[in-house]
Amino acid sequence: MSTVRLVLWDIDHTLIATGGVGGEVFRAAFEEVTGGPMTRMAEVTGRTERVIFRETLELHGLEDPGDHFDRFAEAQARGYLERAEDMRRRGRALPGAPQALTALAGRGDIVQSVLTGNPRPSAVAKLQIFDLHRHIDFDSGAYGGDEEVRAKLVPIARARAKERHHLDFGVETTILIGDTPSDIQAALDGGALVIGVATGKSSPGELAEAGARHVLSDLSDTAALVRAVVTIEHPNDQTRNPV
């Protein structure tokens, strides 16, 4: 087993905040694809975009004939890029995110990618807008268009990273960094270590209770983040089986 570690970043409220633009882009893309107004939206937190889109369709009495989600994902990514200036004005890269990505990229024992509920085009667009894409190996990640169940994204990312880097990444060398109990649950159920960052709605205590091995208040302490990534270990008493 390789000692190189695969670090999978969540995006929203871990690396960036859209300042409300994300919801507006979702609405515009939904209305473009369906041809009608969006009056309600499914629950978002900790879920993949495929599930959010499908359930939002259901709230409007609609079904996906087969191409709606793919068209939605394309329209959504285009919407982010078209509103890049608005994103930068209202949103932001979260404190310490650029420095954290750069610090991990400077090590020879880290591969950085993403595990996110966003479809890949939107994930790339969001990070490009805030200039956070340079150190991310997007081909080693997993996205909201790949699977509905977030935990199933972990083995997808691990398999892609193995194919790309010719290295085996196991439970002990796959690390998810996220801001919600759902991120933590996905890591534990999917077979990964997890670092919680309390930059979203969840408190450090809630993230620790959910099972995060390390919890940071934010990413501003670069040394603490790097230390957590390189020292985190699989608990001896963990009994969960990966999906």
**What predicted TM-score, i.e. pTM, was given to this entire model?**
0.93
pLDDT tens, residue order, the chain (243 aa): 578 999 999 999 999 999 999 999 999 999 999 999 999 999 988 789 999 999 999 999 999 998 999 999 999 999 999 999 999 999 999 999 999 999 999 999 999 999 999 999 999 999 999 999 999 999 999 999 999 999 999 999 999 999 999 999 999 999 999 999 999 999 999 999 999 999 999 999 999 999 998 999 999 999 999 999 999 987 654 434 344
CB 199 within 8 A of CB 187: no
Let me know if 128 is exposed, middle or buried by CB neighbors in 10 A (0-12, 13-18, 19+).
Answer: middle
CA–CA dist 125, 77 (Å, integer): 6
Check residue 142 and report its DSSP letter.
B
32's CB contacts (< 8 A; 6+ apart) are: 71, 75
Check residue 173 and report its DSSP letter.
G
CB 151 within 8 A of CB 186: yes
